[in-house]
Amino acid sequence: MARCPSAGAVVAGLLTFYSLVVQGSAVGVLSTGQLIENHGHQSYSKHSVITEDGYFINLFRINKGRGGPPFLLLHALMGASDQWLLRDRNHDLPSILVNNGYDVWLGDFRGNLYSKNHTRLNVSNPEYWKFSIDEWAFYDVPAMMNYVCNNTEYDKMYVVTYSLSSAILFATASARPEYNDKIIVSYHMAPFLAFTNIKSLLLRLGVQFGEFYLAISRSIKNHELFSRNHWSMNSLSLFCNKKSIFLKACVTLLSELFGFDTSGNSTTNLDFKLTYSRAGVSLNSIDHLLQMIKSHKFQHYDLGHNKNLKKYGQTKPPEYDLRKVTSPVVLYYSKNDRVVDNGTIHKLISVLPKVYQTIMIPNEKFGHIDYAFNSNAKTLVFDSVINIARQFKIAPSHPQYGYNYYYY
């Protein structure tokens, strides 16, 4: 079937439709900074951090919460820091944290629209895009954590992940286990790892024919996927704006792809929210993800026999060892999640050394994208983040006195 031209055309069309409707985005939409201001936080700052391999990555800090322990929030695949700010100040996690006295930092991985600089490479250079999930984990997360520690009174932080950024943080803690000591507790909302049994038929088709899609991108020398542009904005508006005759179909498609609770999602601004699900990502990162899903292994990027031997010292890419994730972990999952199944959660519980708490969202319809879109997420998810954080009491570190104060 994969060799049949007509089938390939159908799959390419499906993937293109998926990228437009679900991953669509717009030029001229509000930036993370503007969204922060719209939430009533006039005091925020933007920070550029250099990684060990020369990439500039971005951090937004909401300064109103300075003085309390820091929270680092990591976005999902193909997204950016702005996806945490799609509701209002009473329902979005950053504002909830700031209003409870925490110091909030929003991170942007290399390659998205906020993190596209390098010490010597331009984004038009294919060399810039030669990074996968491995580099996000080995370089970007440590750079963010180091910067937060160096610019606050604390040498530990709370970390919140969403979807694939859960795997990224686990990979960091596995490959560089010393960073477990910088994590007070990590929260993993819908953790998307390699052994996920995807329920959505459309997503499974996307995975099955993903290599075909990537081959097309490589043939036209397109190393960045899912960037924000006018074309995708117009397509998104066509299908998902509040006056569109296709709006009901758009909602149905979202429900099939990810799980989508319409009771907590206003469809009048659905196109606005979907705008922020597309911020640019490297082709290699998508390729790496597809490799892991197909192999059912949480592993490094497979470069091929010879390159694997040169980089890893073995012909197959090594797996990340979840037993090295020794910092406390909180796992969130939901029954209507079409991407992350219960088996993923059970596997994590059985392997991770320190699962502090596992929380199943008490709503039968809550799905994978509801963590970013749904107003009910405040009571169903975010309030528990505050409650758990208070169970891990931490005082500022005082290096001038030669010791630290921590209370658990």
126-169: per-residue pLDDT in tens? 999 999 999 999 999 999 999 999 999 999 999 999 999 999 99
337 part of the active site: yes
For 162-229, where are the alpha helices, taking DSSP H only?
A: 164-175, 201-208, 210-219
For 55-140, where are the alpha helices, taking DSSP H only?
A: 93-99, 133-135
Q: Which of 163, 232, 327, 334 is catalytic?
A: 163
Q: Which residues pair with 359 in a beta bridge?
A: 332
Query: Average pLDDT in the 218-223 region?
Result: 89
Query: Average pLDDT in the 377-402 region?
Result: 83
- The pLDDT tens digits of the residues spanning 288-315 come to 999 999 999 999 999 999 999 999 999 9
Task: Give the pLDDT of residue 169.
Answer: 98
91 part of the active site: no
For 258-401, where are the alpha helices, taking DSSP H only?
A: 270-275, 283-295, 305-312, 342-351, 370-373, 377, 383-390
Helix (H/G/I), strand (E/B), else coil: 335? coil
Between CA 8 and CA 209 the distance in angstroms is: 8
Task: Give the pLDDT of residue 20.
Answer: 37
Residue 177 has pLDDT above 60, yes or no: yes
How would DSSP label each residue in 142-168? HHHHHHHHHTSS-S-EEEEEETHHHHH
Q: Which of 92, 134, 155, 337 is catalytic?
A: 337
Question: Domains of the chain by range and CATH?
Answer: 32-392 (3.40.50.1820)
Task: Give the pLDDT of residue 232.
Answer: 63
Residue 199 has pLDDT above 70, yes or no: yes
Yes or no: say if 142 and 49 are a contact pair by the CB < 8 Å rule: no
Chain centre to alpha carbon of residue 266: 23
CA distances from 168 to 8, 197, 272, 315 (A): 31, 18, 27, 23
Consecutive H or E run containing 378: none
CA distances from 299 to 118, 158, 278 (A): 26, 25, 25
The closest alpha carbon to 274, from 94, 19, 16, belongs to 19
The answer for residues whose C-beta is within 8 angstroms of residue 403's C-beta and 6 or more apart is none
230 part of the active site: no
Residue 3 has pLDDT above 90, yes or no: no
- The pLDDT tens digits of the residues spanning 56-79 come to 999 999 976 567 899 999 999 989
Return the percentage of the chain with pLDDT > 70, whole number: 88
Q: Which of 200, 288, 368, 375 is catalytic?
A: 368
